[in-house]
Amino acid sequence: MNSFPAPDTVLPHRAPFLFVDRISELVVGKSAVGHWKLNGDEWFFPGHFPGRPTLPGVLMCEAIAQVGAYVVLSDQSMTGKLPLFGGLDAARFRRQVSPGDELVLMVELTRMSSRAGKGVGRALLNDEVACECELMFVLVDA
């Protein structure tokens, strides 16, 4: 089993807004697979929705984007940079995600420059697509 740096050592995100627990695959500057286990204690479940806790779709997109940021920031040429959302296209939500579920987050960068990039991502739940989207980001000085 490959061991990659913990997300909180690569990403600038912190609780309660760090949505990646671990990385299981990484091709630096190209792609990664991350994991997010939802234990039910997350801050958003009590209000979304009482009696039927559901992970908000936009937070699935954010989790995918965080794995994308991990891919970018794992490249030493990006030291001192911060990838920020530049856009989100073609987002589709296909499965409800609930407490106790674990998402597998897959991202592949499709275009990268010194100032911006694009990627595609999916969140899988039990090998079925829960969310998919296209990401655009800009790079700024950290």
Residues forming the active site: 48
Q: How far is CA 120 from CA 37, 47, 100, 108, in A?
A: 21, 29, 26, 6
Measured distance CA(139)–CA(79) in Å, rounded: 11
Q: How far is CA 2 from CA 26, 54, 121, 123, in A?
A: 9, 31, 21, 21
Measured distance CA(103)–CA(66) in Å, rounded: 13
